Structure 1
Amino acid sequence: MLADLCGKLETDVEIKASAEKFHSIFRHKPHHISNVASHKIQGVDLHEGEWGTVGSIVCWNYFHDGKPRVARDRVEAIDEEKNLITFRVLEGDLREHFKSFVITIQANPKVGGEGCTVHWILEYEKLHAVPRRLPPSVAAGLLVFSTFAYPPPTPQSPFH
Protein backbone atom coordinates (compact mmCIF):
# COMPACT_ATOMS: atom_id res chain seq x y z
CA MET A 1 0.00 0.00 0.00
CA LEU A 2 2.78 2.45 0.90
CA ALA A 3 4.45 1.77 -2.47
CA ASP A 4 1.28 3.05 -4.14
CA LEU A 5 1.54 6.27 -2.17
CA CYS A 6 5.25 7.03 -2.52
CA GLY A 7 7.01 8.07 -5.67
CA LYS A 8 10.11 9.62 -7.10
CA LEU A 9 10.55 11.52 -10.36
CA GLU A 10 13.92 12.52 -11.78
CA THR A 11 14.88 14.55 -14.80
CA ASP A 12 17.90 16.38 -16.19
CA VAL A 13 17.82 19.80 -17.83
CA GLU A 14 20.82 21.22 -19.67
CA ILE A 15 21.37 24.96 -19.31
CA LYS A 16 24.07 27.39 -20.43
CA ALA A 17 24.79 28.78 -16.96
CA SER A 18 27.61 27.32 -14.90
CA ALA A 19 26.74 24.86 -12.13
CA GLU A 20 28.09 27.27 -9.51
CA LYS A 21 26.05 30.21 -10.81
CA PHE A 22 22.83 28.18 -11.04
CA HIS A 23 23.28 26.82 -7.50
CA SER A 24 24.13 30.27 -6.16
CA ILE A 25 20.91 31.71 -7.60
CA PHE A 26 18.73 28.95 -6.08
CA ARG A 27 20.56 29.21 -2.77
CA HIS A 28 21.08 32.95 -2.31
CA LYS A 29 18.82 34.73 -4.83
CA PRO A 30 15.82 32.59 -5.80
CA HIS A 31 13.81 35.82 -5.92
CA HIS A 32 15.72 36.58 -9.15
CA ILE A 33 14.41 33.46 -10.92
CA SER A 34 11.26 35.27 -12.00
CA ASN A 35 13.51 37.53 -14.13
CA VAL A 36 14.17 34.65 -16.54
CA ALA A 37 11.12 32.48 -15.95
CA SER A 38 8.30 34.96 -15.38
CA HIS A 39 5.96 32.75 -17.43
CA LYS A 40 6.30 30.09 -14.68
CA ILE A 41 7.58 31.84 -11.55
CA GLN A 42 5.91 35.12 -10.55
CA GLY A 43 7.91 35.68 -7.40
CA VAL A 44 9.85 34.18 -4.52
CA ASP A 45 9.74 35.65 -1.02
CA LEU A 46 11.72 34.92 2.13
CA HIS A 47 9.32 34.28 5.03
CA GLU A 48 11.75 33.19 7.76
CA GLY A 49 15.50 32.99 8.25
CA GLU A 50 18.11 34.22 5.80
CA TRP A 51 18.56 33.52 2.10
CA GLY A 52 20.83 30.54 1.55
CA THR A 53 20.56 28.94 4.98
CA VAL A 54 19.18 25.60 6.08
CA GLY A 55 15.89 26.06 7.89
CA SER A 56 14.86 29.22 6.07
CA ILE A 57 11.29 29.38 4.74
CA VAL A 58 10.76 30.45 1.12
CA CYS A 59 7.42 31.09 -0.61
CA TRP A 60 7.18 30.41 -4.36
CA ASN A 61 4.38 31.99 -6.41
CA TYR A 62 4.13 30.19 -9.74
CA PHE A 63 1.76 29.54 -12.59
CA HIS A 64 0.62 26.05 -13.57
CA ASP A 65 -2.26 24.87 -15.71
CA GLY A 66 -3.35 28.49 -16.25
CA LYS A 67 -3.74 29.14 -12.53
CA PRO A 68 -1.62 30.93 -9.94
CA ARG A 69 -0.19 28.51 -7.37
CA VAL A 70 1.84 28.81 -4.21
CA ALA A 71 4.36 26.63 -2.38
CA ARG A 72 5.82 27.46 1.02
CA ASP A 73 9.08 25.52 1.38
CA ARG A 74 11.76 24.98 4.00
CA VAL A 75 15.39 24.65 2.91
CA GLU A 76 16.27 21.16 4.19
CA ALA A 77 19.84 20.73 2.98
CA ILE A 78 22.60 22.57 1.17
CA ASP A 79 25.82 21.05 -0.16
CA GLU A 80 28.00 23.77 -1.65
CA GLU A 81 30.61 21.32 -3.02
CA LYS A 82 27.95 19.36 -4.90
CA ASN A 83 25.93 22.46 -5.92
CA LEU A 84 22.91 20.86 -4.27
CA ILE A 85 19.90 22.28 -2.44
CA THR A 86 16.84 20.48 -1.07
CA PHE A 87 13.43 22.04 -0.36
CA ARG A 88 10.52 20.47 1.55
CA VAL A 89 7.05 21.78 0.70
CA LEU A 90 5.31 22.77 3.94
CA GLU A 91 2.15 24.43 2.61
CA GLY A 92 0.48 25.29 -0.66
CA ASP A 93 -1.29 23.78 -3.63
CA LEU A 94 0.87 20.64 -3.80
CA ARG A 95 -0.19 19.74 -0.26
CA GLU A 96 -3.76 19.23 -1.54
CA HIS A 97 -2.50 16.02 -3.19
CA PHE A 98 0.61 15.11 -1.19
CA LYS A 99 1.40 14.31 2.42
CA SER A 100 5.05 15.15 1.73
CA PHE A 101 6.88 16.62 -1.21
CA VAL A 102 10.65 17.16 -1.40
CA ILE A 103 12.56 18.79 -4.27
CA THR A 104 16.32 18.27 -4.62
CA ILE A 105 18.18 20.30 -7.23
CA GLN A 106 21.78 19.54 -8.14
CA ALA A 107 23.75 21.40 -10.80
CA ASN A 108 26.55 19.35 -12.36
CA PRO A 109 29.21 20.98 -14.56
CA LYS A 110 29.35 19.72 -18.14
CA VAL A 111 32.54 17.85 -18.88
CA GLY A 112 34.40 19.54 -21.71
CA GLY A 113 31.75 22.14 -22.40
CA GLU A 114 30.08 25.26 -21.16
CA GLY A 115 27.01 25.20 -18.97
CA CYS A 116 25.72 22.47 -16.73
CA THR A 117 23.15 19.74 -16.33
CA VAL A 118 20.60 20.35 -13.60
CA HIS A 119 19.38 17.13 -11.99
CA TRP A 120 15.91 17.44 -10.39
CA ILE A 121 14.67 14.84 -7.90
CA LEU A 122 11.06 15.05 -6.76
CA GLU A 123 10.14 12.68 -3.93
CA TYR A 124 6.58 12.55 -2.71
CA GLU A 125 3.99 10.69 -0.69
CA LYS A 126 0.42 11.03 -1.94
CA LEU A 127 -2.42 11.61 0.49
CA HIS A 128 -4.57 8.90 -1.10
CA ALA A 129 -3.82 5.69 -2.99
CA VAL A 130 -6.63 6.35 -5.47
CA PRO A 131 -6.15 7.15 -8.28
CA ARG A 132 -3.11 4.91 -8.71
CA ARG A 133 -1.73 7.21 -11.37
CA LEU A 134 -1.38 10.91 -10.79
CA PRO A 135 -3.81 13.06 -12.75
CA PRO A 136 -1.95 14.49 -15.79
CA SER A 137 -2.24 18.07 -14.53
CA VAL A 138 -0.73 17.11 -11.16
CA ALA A 139 2.04 15.02 -12.73
CA ALA A 140 2.90 17.93 -15.01
CA GLY A 141 2.88 20.26 -12.04
CA LEU A 142 5.47 18.12 -10.30
CA LEU A 143 7.96 19.11 -12.96
CA VAL A 144 7.04 22.79 -13.04
CA PHE A 145 10.42 23.82 -11.69
CA SER A 146 12.27 21.77 -14.28
CA THR A 147 10.29 23.17 -17.21
CA PHE A 148 11.36 26.79 -16.99
CA ALA A 149 12.46 26.54 -20.64
CA TYR A 150 15.65 28.39 -19.72
CA PRO A 151 16.68 30.84 -22.40
CA PRO A 152 20.37 31.44 -22.98
CA PRO A 153 21.68 33.80 -20.31
CA THR A 154 21.44 37.48 -21.22
CA PRO A 155 23.29 40.34 -19.49
CA GLN A 156 20.20 41.00 -17.32
CA SER A 157 19.66 37.29 -16.54
CA PRO A 158 20.57 36.17 -13.02
CA PHE A 159 22.13 33.07 -14.63
CA HIS A 160 24.56 35.16 -16.73
Structure 2
Amino acid sequence: MAQIAKLETKAEITNPPAKVYDLLKYNLNKFVNLFPQVFKSIKLIEGEEGHAGNVKIVEYVIGKAMSAKVKTEEINDEERSMIMRVVEGEVLQLYPTFLCKISVSDGFVNWSIEFEKTKDSTPKPDAYAQVHSHVTKLMDLYLLTN
Protein backbone atom coordinates (compact mmCIF):
# COMPACT_ATOMS: atom_id res chain seq x y z
CA MET A 1 0.00 0.00 0.00
CA ALA A 2 1.30 3.44 -0.95
CA GLN A 3 2.03 6.01 1.67
CA ILE A 4 0.09 9.23 2.12
CA ALA A 5 2.33 12.27 1.67
CA LYS A 6 1.67 15.90 2.52
CA LEU A 7 2.50 19.13 0.71
CA GLU A 8 1.93 22.39 2.58
CA THR A 9 1.73 25.99 1.42
CA LYS A 10 1.34 29.05 3.62
CA ALA A 11 0.27 32.31 1.95
CA GLU A 12 0.03 35.72 3.58
CA ILE A 13 -3.22 37.70 3.75
CA THR A 14 -3.93 41.24 4.91
CA ASN A 15 -7.72 40.91 5.20
CA PRO A 16 -9.43 39.77 8.39
CA PRO A 17 -9.44 35.95 8.55
CA ALA A 18 -13.24 35.82 8.79
CA LYS A 19 -13.61 37.67 5.47
CA VAL A 20 -11.23 35.30 3.67
CA TYR A 21 -12.80 32.22 5.26
CA ASP A 22 -16.31 33.35 4.27
CA LEU A 23 -15.25 33.70 0.63
CA LEU A 24 -13.72 30.22 0.64
CA LYS A 25 -16.68 28.69 2.48
CA TYR A 26 -19.63 30.36 0.73
CA ASN A 27 -18.39 31.82 -2.57
CA LEU A 28 -15.88 29.46 -4.15
CA ASN A 29 -17.84 29.87 -7.39
CA LYS A 30 -16.50 33.47 -7.57
CA PHE A 31 -13.10 31.96 -8.42
CA VAL A 32 -14.35 31.51 -12.01
CA ASN A 33 -14.52 35.29 -12.46
CA LEU A 34 -11.53 36.11 -10.25
CA PHE A 35 -9.16 33.50 -11.74
CA PRO A 36 -10.47 32.65 -15.23
CA GLN A 37 -7.04 31.41 -16.33
CA VAL A 38 -7.31 28.56 -13.77
CA PHE A 39 -11.00 28.02 -12.95
CA LYS A 40 -13.40 27.50 -15.84
CA SER A 41 -16.46 26.36 -13.90
CA ILE A 42 -17.45 25.55 -10.31
CA LYS A 43 -20.94 24.11 -9.90
CA LEU A 44 -22.65 22.92 -6.73
CA ILE A 45 -24.35 19.62 -7.60
CA GLU A 46 -25.25 18.25 -4.18
CA GLY A 47 -25.90 19.68 -0.72
CA GLU A 48 -25.81 23.29 0.37
CA GLU A 49 -23.07 25.88 -0.07
CA GLY A 50 -21.13 26.40 3.14
CA HIS A 51 -22.09 23.02 4.63
CA ALA A 52 -20.15 19.80 5.00
CA GLY A 53 -21.24 17.13 2.57
CA ASN A 54 -21.69 19.42 -0.40
CA VAL A 55 -20.32 18.26 -3.74
CA LYS A 56 -19.03 20.46 -6.56
CA ILE A 57 -17.82 19.85 -10.07
CA VAL A 58 -14.73 21.96 -10.69
CA GLU A 59 -13.37 22.50 -14.19
CA TYR A 60 -9.87 23.93 -14.09
CA VAL A 61 -6.58 24.25 -15.93
CA ILE A 62 -3.30 23.24 -14.31
CA GLY A 63 -1.06 22.31 -17.20
CA LYS A 64 -4.10 21.01 -19.09
CA ALA A 65 -7.88 21.27 -18.83
CA MET A 66 -9.26 18.90 -16.19
CA SER A 67 -12.30 18.41 -14.00
CA ALA A 68 -12.86 17.07 -10.52
CA LYS A 69 -15.81 16.12 -8.37
CA VAL A 70 -14.96 17.56 -4.96
CA LYS A 71 -16.74 16.74 -1.70
CA THR A 72 -16.49 19.05 1.30
CA GLU A 73 -15.90 16.54 4.09
CA GLU A 74 -15.53 18.87 7.04
CA ILE A 75 -16.10 22.50 7.96
CA ASN A 76 -14.90 23.83 11.30
CA ASP A 77 -16.01 27.43 11.82
CA GLU A 78 -14.22 27.74 15.16
CA GLU A 79 -10.87 26.94 13.53
CA ARG A 80 -11.85 28.52 10.20
CA SER A 81 -10.91 25.33 8.37
CA MET A 82 -12.29 23.05 5.67
CA ILE A 83 -11.38 19.66 4.28
CA MET A 84 -12.21 18.83 0.66
CA ARG A 85 -11.60 15.50 -1.07
CA VAL A 86 -11.47 14.78 -4.78
CA VAL A 87 -13.80 11.83 -5.37
CA GLU A 88 -13.67 11.77 -9.19
CA GLY A 89 -11.46 13.31 -11.85
CA GLU A 90 -8.23 13.15 -13.81
CA VAL A 91 -6.06 14.02 -10.82
CA LEU A 92 -6.97 10.64 -9.31
CA GLN A 93 -5.10 8.91 -12.15
CA LEU A 94 -1.85 10.21 -10.60
CA TYR A 95 -2.97 10.46 -6.98
CA PRO A 96 -5.66 7.95 -5.92
CA THR A 97 -5.99 9.94 -2.71
CA PHE A 98 -6.17 13.73 -3.05
CA LEU A 99 -7.37 15.75 -0.08
CA CYS A 100 -7.06 19.50 0.51
CA LYS A 101 -7.19 21.09 3.95
CA ILE A 102 -7.57 24.86 4.18
CA SER A 103 -7.25 26.86 7.37
CA VAL A 104 -7.41 30.62 7.70
CA SER A 105 -5.69 32.41 10.58
CA ASP A 106 -4.51 35.93 11.34
CA GLY A 107 -2.26 36.89 8.46
CA PHE A 108 -2.20 33.51 6.67
CA VAL A 109 -4.06 30.88 4.70
CA ASN A 110 -2.59 27.42 5.17
CA TRP A 111 -3.15 24.91 2.39
CA SER A 112 -2.30 21.28 2.93
CA ILE A 113 -2.58 18.65 0.21
CA GLU A 114 -2.57 15.03 1.33
CA PHE A 115 -1.94 12.70 -1.57
CA GLU A 116 -0.98 9.17 -2.47
CA LYS A 117 1.10 8.59 -5.61
CA THR A 118 0.21 5.85 -8.09
CA LYS A 119 3.93 5.02 -8.32
CA ASP A 120 7.20 6.30 -6.85
CA SER A 121 8.13 8.18 -10.02
CA THR A 122 4.92 10.24 -9.94
CA PRO A 123 5.89 13.86 -9.18
CA LYS A 124 4.51 15.67 -6.15
CA PRO A 125 1.53 17.92 -6.97
CA ASP A 126 3.67 21.09 -6.73
CA ALA A 127 1.63 22.85 -9.43
CA TYR A 128 -1.45 22.65 -7.19
CA ALA A 129 0.48 24.18 -4.29
CA GLN A 130 1.67 27.00 -6.55
CA VAL A 131 -1.90 27.68 -7.66
CA HIS A 132 -3.05 27.79 -4.03
CA SER A 133 -0.41 30.38 -3.20
CA HIS A 134 -1.18 32.50 -6.27
CA VAL A 135 -4.96 32.31 -5.74
CA THR A 136 -4.56 33.36 -2.09
CA LYS A 137 -2.60 36.48 -3.04
CA LEU A 138 -5.10 37.53 -5.70
CA MET A 139 -8.08 36.68 -3.49
CA ASP A 140 -6.61 38.87 -0.75
CA LEU A 141 -6.22 41.79 -3.20
CA TYR A 142 -9.81 41.32 -4.41
CA LEU A 143 -11.17 41.34 -0.85
CA LEU A 144 -9.32 44.58 -0.05
CA THR A 145 -11.48 46.40 -2.59
CA ASN A 146 -14.77 44.47 -2.19
Provide the TM-score with structure 1 as the length reference: 0.79
Aligned mate of 2:79, from 77, 82, 94: 82
Aligned mate of 1:53, from 35, 51, 54: 51
2:107 pairs with 1:121: no
Q: Structure 1: how far apart are the matches of 2:98 and 2:24?
A: 18
SS at match of 2:141: coil
Provide the TM-score with structure 2 as the length reference: 0.86
Q: Structure 2: how far apart are the matches of 1:36 and 1:158?
A: 13
Q: Structure 2: how far apart are the matches of 1:100 and 1:73?
A: 12
Describe the shift of the 1:91–1:158 C-alpha distance in structure 2 as closer, same or farther (beyond 3 A): farther
CA RMSD of aligned residues (A): 2.1
Percentage of matched positions with identical amino acids = 24
2:126 pairs with 1:140: yes
Report how many aligned residue pairs link the two structures.
Answer: 144
Aligned-partner residue type, residue 15 of structure 1: I
What is aligned with 1:113? none
Q: Structure 2: how far apart are the matches of 1:43 and 1:72?
A: 12
Task: String of CA shifts for 1:98-135, please: whole Å, max 9, x gaps.
Answer: 111110000111xxxxxx3100011011223x31xx33
Could you tell me which runs of 5 or more consecutive residues in structure 1 were left unpaired when the two chains were aligned.
110-115
Describe the shift of the 1:53–1:87 C-alpha distance in structure 2 as closer, same or farther (beyond 3 A): same
Could you tell me which runs of 5 or more consecutive residues in structure 2 were left unpaired when the two chains were aligned.
none
Larger radius of gyration: 1
Structure with more helix by fraction: 2
SS at match of 2:135: coil
